[in-house]
Structure 1
């Protein structure tokens, strides 16, 4: 693992207070769970912890938290030891390229991670090599480059995505089975932050206002828009390669 693989973006603990948002994501991720799950860039364990109720039903036999930052990896291990994360969780301190080739997963999850990776297409090609036949690749990322703001720069984002840009980097042998834009109610607020407020890291008060107000509206509004509008994007691919060999 690279010695400089250290997270130096905004304080993740501030965003971890967005309980409604992460609960919303967890509900959308849950149908795609499998026996072996790889979470790339697990960070401080926010989404891992929110997935705990869905992991508890026995579908998941192992959840690997892949995290390159040494301190965050140590924190994840402590969370598992204390019972804050499910007992099926393990931690791998490194990058996807560090995993042995024989390690295969039924779901590989990138939750607000792919936008941090410069070679995103190469990353997804490597991920596809670690999918079981019939396995799934799930990416959730910020949407629309016209919303790219000071917060994106501070968070070391290389880009935001659309349906077309995500589909353009999908590995061969993977079939798109779901694509949704999320958080439609927050589009105007994100644009206002970009054009007028020009804030980097949002304050805790702003996070709470977004999470308790706009996210709750989005959970109702997103289905009404048929998930065609939103400041985030969720895509899921199904691995069709070698599926007939099962």
Structure 2
């Protein structure tokens, strides 16, 4: 299985305000049986899985990251309902169906994103939810994106076009308008290849709370992240 080369997972685990912000748009859909693709080191699992779900399946291609998730589960950091599988979505049984499938900062790592989402749709129960969070705007693509294995960044149309047409779009919006200005400043002026922990904490503690306000004012028309939610027909 593929080993993941980036270390931004350790950096962004400190982004508590950010995780809370985006989760507020879809946490209520994460009931029953949930599938998380690209679970990484389990920090998204920790922020979203509260143990009330019937099951929570983490799929991750890197065995080292899977081992970290297993350790966090054994220590009680992750709920006991969490199950881990090493591989890609193809590792699932064809009969496995879920009430919600989430891709949190994962789809941009998958070369053939449309084919991936066709597979995901087949694992959704009728009425089930597909939740996707991705970095926005290819004009913001940097050496950092390339270093951590991003194939692309998205706008709303790109993300919508990647999702099977039979799924009904419920939400499609931009998040973190204040963070967008910081990304633009870095892209064209600072030209920093990799963020530092202090910068992540500054963004999370100051910019994300500000974006909660400005995103509403701007009707989610600007941001450095795209969030999409789809539902499979009952």
TM-score normalised by the shorter chain: which range applies?
Answer: over 0.9
CA distance in 1, matches of 2:213, 2:180: 15
Structure 2: which 5+ residue stretches go unaligned?
none
* Counterpart for residue 89 of structure 1: 82
| Aligned partners of 1:32 and 1:136 also within 8 Å | yes
| DSSP-derived class of the 2:26 partner | helix
Q: Distance in 1 between matches of 2:189 and 2:7?
A: 20
Contact between 1:10 and 1:154, CA under 8 Å: does it hold in 2? no
Distance across 1 between alignment mates of 2:217 and 2:205: 20
Which residue of structure 1 aligns with residue 10 of structure 2? 13
1:150 and 1:198 in contact (8 A); partners too: no
Matched, 1:124 2:121: no
Deviation, structure 1 residue 21: 0.8
TM-score, normalised with respect to structure 1? 0.92
Following superposition, the deviation at residue 34 of structure 1 comes to 2.3
RMSD of aligned Cα (Å): 1.2
Structure 1: segments with no counterpart, 5+ residues: none
Summarize deviations over 1:193-242 as a string: whole Å, max 9, x none. Answer: 111222222011111111111111011221221111100000011001xx
For 1:173, the equivalent position in structure 2 comes to 166
Number of residue pairs matched by the alignment: 234
**Cα distance in 2 between the residues matched to 1:186 and 1:171:** 30
CA distance in 2, matches of 1:23, 1:138: 15
2:128 to 109, 131, 135: 135
User: Which of 48, 51, 70 matches 1:77?
Assistant: 70
- Indicate the residue corresponding to 1:208 in structure 2: 201
Q: Distance in 2 between matches of 1:200 and 1:88?
A: 38
Aligned to 2:39: 42
Q: Is the 8 A contact 2:85 2:91 kept in 1?
A: no
Contact 1:185 1:217 in 2 (8 A): yes
- How far the C-alpha of 1:150 sits from its partner, in A, is 1.8
How far 1:170 sits from its partner (Å)?
Answer: 1.3
SS of residue matched to 2:85 = strand
Q: Which residue of 2 aligns with 1:189?
A: 182
**Within 1, Cα distance between the matches of 2:70 and 2:216?**
37
